[in-house]
Chains A and B, each alone.
Chain A
Amino acid sequence: MSRRPLTPFRNGVAVFAGVSALLLVGCGQKATQPIVVASVSDVSSLDPHLLDVNHPTGSVIWSLFDSLVRRGPDGADLPRLASSWERVDDLTWRFHLRADVKFQDGSPFTADDVKFSFDRMNISPFNSEQQLWQQTTLKQVTIIDPHTVELKTDKPATTMLYWLEEAFVAPKAYYSTHDEAWLNTHPMGSGPYKLVEWVPGDHLTLSANPTYFGGEPPLHDVEFKVVPDLNARLNGLATGDIDLALNLTPDTVTQANTAHSRGSTVLGLRKLHFGIAQHSTQAALRDPRVRRALNYAVDVPTMIRTLLHGATVPLPSVVNPPNNNPALKPYGYHPDLARQLLAQAGYSQGFDLDVDFTPMWGQDKDIAETVAGYLNAVGIRTHLHADEWSDFKNHLANQSFNGIFYAGWAALINPAVELVIFTCNQEDNASGYCDAKYDDLVHAANTNFDPVSRKAQIEGAEAMVWNDAYWIFLWRDPEYAGISNRISYTLRGDDYVEIYTATPRQP
């Protein structure tokens, strides 16, 4: 009667070990897989009018839906659902819609759907995400015929095309007969891709729409995967599990050069800077001499050379090239000049300064700590704060930072839109600036259709911002990604991944 209670255990362990060994050996054989795009975060919603960030939500929405106008990578306004347009007068835009577009359920696209979608963008909860009506002073959407719409604005809207680029068109029939919970997860658009499945927090799969008016996209199956860990994205590239690994860092992008993949760096459009809070308890920040001193104290070229491996250039202006004012020059590194200016402003003993950042994207902490180090060196006593993303976003919205804060903004090319951030009642104006002369210039530029006088107004506004050092101006945000040899794809400078422009490549 000698029982052996341990033998089943031992056997179990042996089987366990054997199976793991087999699987370890067997790994690495990949059958035909979808193209996998790995991002730091997940899509937040598939409702086209709840688009909150450029990527990944924006990238997926851009694949599932169409807008009237497409934003080209260089800022150009390209036809999409609208084949052409004209300005009937200063307050009226007329768009001619394509007649050959079908939604993915087969129903035809007409002006009805445009009016429905735009009107939807103006009601709660969508109007807290969409800015079309607010920014263009849109008053009314009129249907002229099934393939022509007219948009009437209150004031001349020079930026109408820009704001239409993310005014996605949803079919009226489908979107008025389903509830919000359904629509968030069962999108119906006319775009180049269809949704196959979405497992929130993990992945989202798309497949090509064969009846897309622009032609079926070259990549048939695409998966947007959530891989928040940098090492995981790099590893996935090396093993072939990931085809497009986004948000790499300057230190790791060379690791993307493997037998299966290559690293890619693109000079991005996002303007990285430190905002300087004007409602702070630290009065020094309201003195333009102090703000200029902050700029002179930071060695931007060295930071670019060491932290970013030389992959970018200092900001030439608050407006992206090619529209920037050529007379403006970067401040450069002049710590003695910084100390002089501080003394002139009455701060020869320095002052206390809060430095806020949010550690969401890896390098933010390094940048903030380095800048704080430079400021410490000219006598300013910095106090660093790592803010949770939601708190950071709150401070941005409420203009409630108390010092300087590391942020990136406006990854786009459209000077009138880029300058709007500093106008008095603009809620993206996280620093809290208010200057009536500046506002006048910018509002004039926004409603002025004459290119010559408009350019003068824009450059004038740029010079005001630059000379008064509204920001600590840093650099244009380089985009680092790893691309596998299975595809050819050119990164955009504004984070959006237009996966429908990617093509397969023989490895």
Chain B
Amino acid sequence: MKNLWIRLLHTDSARRGLIMLLIMICVALAAPLIAPAPPDHVDPAARLLPPLSRSEPDTGHPRGALHVLGTDSVGRDTLSRLIFGSRLSLMVGFAAVVLGAFIGTLVGVLSGFFGGAVEAAAGWLIDVQLSFPFLLLAMFLLGAAGGGELALVCVLALATWVNYARIVRSQVLSIRNQGYVEAARAIGAGVPRLIFVHILPNTLTPLFVVASFSMAQAILTEASLSFIGLGLDPSMPSWGTMLNDGRDYLLRAWWISTMPGLAIGFTVMGVLMLGEGMREVLDPRSSG
């Protein structure tokens, strides 16, 4: 594993991607410290101010507060909302990946290990999911559940578990057919031990690759769903809801929608580059 990390850090794309992701994570963690204003501080008199403008002087700010990225339609500072928004978007992304990985790995291990009816059922389930435009179903589910973080995380996890299941299953199959698992079985090692000690550790590396791509997918999907109002509550500062906020103000206040898009792009690019780098390390065939 350590060897793997060293190789990763030497890979250009992985290193750059990691740095970008770490920047975002630090921003999210340090949000209350680095944000110039509370993200929900409403000030109608300072609404729709362009980037690099100041609001009226008041008791807290004798020269007026500087809004580096402008303000939105109720006078909230865009930069602060962007910073706090990173928390929500990253958290949802991580949670969805973890949940999806858990479900997918579980299904993959069970179907790879036990085969037979379990494998057939899992295969059919995967088929159903892949044969259907998932976003449509997600909309339906979220519309019924009424939105909210928990529902959103579940839906995003549902969107991505399939990726893990397939990889894990094929890994399990290839490992199972190798001698040492048979040997361990012959000695009488129990199923849980076989799974946790022998099989799972070897599936982790491809899992990470899938996880990074799934995280990118989760962040983009959250943005889409929040944009149409089915995801997170519109009053929460997430990048997706900020995108929606700016739709009616494209001419007068282009920064409201543009900034969160750039933030999403930066984060997703970091995650994808990390994933690319991991894939390069695992599978050194050049990809053009």
Please, which residues of chain B bring their CB within 8 A of the CB of A376? 40
Interchain CA distance A302-B233 in the complex, whole Å: 26
Q: Is B143 within 8 A of A303, CB to CB?
A: no
Q: Does B211 make an interface contact (CB < 8 A)? A: no
Judge whether B73 is part of the interface by a CB distance below 8 angstroms. Answer: yes
Please tell me which one of the listed residues B47, B146, B235 contacts residue A307 in the complex, with CB atoms under 8 A apart. Answer: B47
B74 at the interface (CB under 8 A from A): yes
A370 near B: Cβ within 8 Å?
A: yes
Contact B235 A231 (CB under 8 A): no
Beyond A306-B47, A362-B248, is A372–B42 a contact (Cβ under 8 Å)?
A: yes
> Inside 8 A of B41's CB, which chain A residues have their CB?
373
Q: Establish whether residues A231 and B233, one from each chain, have CB atoms under 8 Å apart when the complex forms.
A: no
Assess whether B44 is in contact with A307, with CB atoms less than 8 Å apart: yes
For the complex formed, measure the closest distance between the CB of B221 and the CB atoms of chain A, giving whole angstroms: 19
Interface-facing stretch out of A93-101, A107-115, A382-390: A382-390
Query: In the complex, how many angstroms separate the beta carbon of A373 from the nearest chain B beta carbon?
Result: 3
CB of A486 within 8 Å of the partner chain? no
The answer to whether A249 and B44 touch across the interface, beta carbons within 8 angstroms, is: no
Instruction: Report whether B251 and A369 are in contact in the complex, using a CB–CB cutoff of 8 Å.
Output: no
Interface residues of A in 279-302 (CB under 8 A from B): 302
Asked if A255 lies at the interface with its beta carbon under 8 angstroms from chain B, I say: yes
Complex formed: what's the CA distance from A374 to B40 in Å? 11
Q: Is the CB of A373 within 8 A of B42?
A: yes
Most chain-B CB neighbours within 10 Å: which of A230, A231, A249, A306?
A306
A231 engages B251 (CB within 8 Å): yes
Residue among B44, B146, B247 making CB contact with A306, cutoff 8 Å:
B44
Q: Mask for B223-267, Cβ within 8 A of A = 1, else 0?
A: 000000100011100000000010111111000000000000000
Q: Is B45 interfacial (CB-CB < 8 Å)?
A: yes
0/1 string, A218-233, CB within 8 A of B gives 1? 0000000000011100
Does chain A have a CB within 8 A of B27?
Answer: no
Residue in A closest to B253 when the chains form the complex, CB atoms = A251
Q: Do B233 and A386 touch (CB < 8 A)?
A: yes
Q: Verify if B48 is at the interface (C-beta below 8 Å from A).
A: yes
Distance in angstroms between the alpha carbons of A368 and B48 in the assembled complex: 17
Given contacts A370-B42, A373-B40, A388-B143, contact A359 B229 (CB under 8 A): yes
CB of A365 closer than 8 Å to a CB of B: yes
User: Are B143 and A231 interface neighbours, CB within 8 A?
Assistant: no
Residues of A within 8 A of B229 (CB): 359, 386, 388
Q: Are B42 and A369 in contact (CB under 8 A)?
A: yes
- With A373-B74, A386-B229, A386-B233 in contact, is A303–B252 under 8 Å at CB? no
- Binary interface encoding of chain A residues 339-376 relative to chain B, with 1 for a CB under 8 A from any of its CBs, else 0: 00000000000000000000100100110111011101
A148 at the binding interface (Cβ < 8 Å):
no
Question: Closest residue of chain A to B47, judged by CB?
Answer: A306
Q: In the assembled complex, which residues on chain A have CB atoms less than 8 Å from the CB atom of B234?
A: 359, 365, 386
In-complex Cβ contact of B248 among A249, A385, A388 (8 A): A249
Within the complex, what minimum Cβ distance (angstroms) separates A122 from chain B? 35
Interface size on B, residues (CB 8 A): 23
Alpha-carbon distance between A431 and B143 when the two chains are bound, in angstroms:
26
- Distance, CA A113 to CA B229, complexed state (A): 46
In the assembled complex, which residues on chain B have CB atoms less than 8 Å from the CB atom of A372? 42, 235
Which partner residue on chain A sits nearest B232 by CB separation? A386
CA distance in complex: A87, B42 (Å): 55
Give the contacting residue for B235; candidates A255, A303, A365, A388; CB below 8 A.
Answer: A365
CA distance A388 to B247 in the complex (A): 18
Contact with B along A252-279 (1 / 0, CB 8 A): 1001000000000000000000000000
Q: How far does the Cβ of A268 sit from chain B's closest Cβ, in whole Å?
A: 19
Q: Which of B136-171 contact A (CB under 8 A)?
A: 143, 146
Q: When each residue 50-76 of chain B gets 1 if its CB lies under 8 Å from chain A and 0 otherwise, what string results?
A: 000000000000000000000001100
With A306-B45, A386-B233 as contacts: A231 and B74 at CB distance below 8 Å: no
**Which residues of chain B have C-beta atoms less than 8 A from A336's C-beta?**
none
Q: Establish whether residues A252 and B235, one from each chain, have CB atoms under 8 Å apart when the complex forms.
A: no
Task: Kindly report which residue of chain B lies nearest to residue A229, judged by CB atoms.
Answer: B247
Expressed in whole angstroms, the Cα–Cα distance for A385 and B146 within the complex equals: 11
Cβ of B143: which chain A residues have Cβ within 8 Å of it?
Answer: 388
Is there an interface contact between A302 and B146, defined as CB atoms closer than 8 Å? Answer: no
Decide if A391 is an interface residue (CB 8 Å cutoff).
yes
Asked if B74 and A366 sit within 8 Å, CB to CB, the answer is: yes
Residues of A within 8 A of B40 (CB): 369, 373, 376
Which residues of chain A come closer than 8 Å to B43, judged between CB atoms?
373
Give chain A residues whose Cβ lies under 8 Å from the Cβ of B251: 231, 234, 252, 255
1/0 contact string of A42-83 vs chain B (CB within 8 Å): 000000000000000000000000000000000000000000
Across the interface, do B252 and A252 meet the contact criterion of CB distance under 8 Å? Answer: yes
User: Which residues of A from 366 to 416 have beta carbons under 8 Å from B?
Assistant: 366, 368-370, 372-374, 376, 384-386, 388, 391
| Complex contacts, A385 vs chain B, CB 8 Å | 233
Check B146 against A391 for contact (C-beta < 8 Å).
Answer: yes
Q: Known: A231-B251, A251-B73, A362-B248. Is A386-B44 also a contact (CB below 8 A)?
A: no
Residue of B nearest to A369 (CB): B74
Minimum Cβ distance to chain B for residue A250 (Å): 10
In the complex, the answer to whether B73 meets A366 with C-beta atoms within 8 Å is yes
| B252 / chain A contacts, CB cutoff of 8 Å | 251-252
Chain B residues contacting A255 (CB-CB under 8 Å) are 251
Please, how many angstroms separate the alpha-carbon atoms of A86 and B248 in the complex? 51
Taking the closest CB of chain A, its distance from the CB of B1, in whole angstroms, is 44
Q: How far is the CA of A385 from the CA of B41 in the complex (A)?
A: 17
- Distance in Å: Cβ of B252 to nearest Cβ of chain A: 6
CB proximity of A358 to chain B, nearest CB, Å: 10
Q: Provide the bound-state CA to CA distance between A368 and B73, in Å.
A: 12
What is the distance, in angstroms, from A408's C-beta to the closest C-beta of chain B? 19
Q: A366-B74, A370-B74 are in contact. Are A231 and B42 (CB under 8 A)?
A: no
Report chain B residues within 8 Å CB of A362.
248
Q: How far is the CB of B63 from chain A (nearest CB, A)?
A: 21
Q: Which residues of B, 73-132, contact A by the 8 Å Cβ criterion?
A: 73-74
Distance A294 CA – B235 CA, assembled complex (angstroms): 21
Nearest CB in chain B: distance from A406 CB, A: 12
**Considering residues B40, B43, B74, B249, which has the most beta carbons from chain A within 10 angstroms of its beta carbon?**
B74
Chain A positions within 8 Å of B48 at CB level:
251
Closest to B245 in A: A365
Task: Tell me the bound Cα distance from A385 to B235 in angstroms.
Answer: 8
A370 / chain B contacts, CB cutoff of 8 Å = 42, 44, 74
A373 neighbours in B (Cβ, 8 Å): 40-43, 74
Q: Give min CB distance, B60 to chain A, whole Å.
A: 13
Q: List 21 A-B contacts (CB under 8 A).
A: A230-B248, A231-B250, A234-B251, A251-B252, A252-B251, A252-B252, A303-B44, A359-B229, A359-B234, A362-B248, A365-B245, A366-B73, A369-B40, A369-B74, A370-B42, A373-B42, A373-B43, A373-B74, A386-B229, A386-B233, A388-B229
Given contacts A230-B247, A251-B73, A365-B234, 14 further A-B contacts (CB under 8 A): A229-B247, A251-B48, A251-B248, A252-B248, A359-B229, A368-B235, A370-B74, A373-B40, A373-B42, A374-B42, A376-B40, A386-B229, A388-B143, A391-B146
Chain B residues with CB under 8 Å of chain A are 40-45, 47-48, 73-74, 143, 146, 229, 233-235, 245, 247-252
| A-B interface, 10 closest residue pairs, ranked by CB to CB distance from nearest | A373-B42, A384-B235, A306-B44, A386-B234, A230-B248, A366-B74, A366-B73, A369-B74, A370-B74, A370-B42
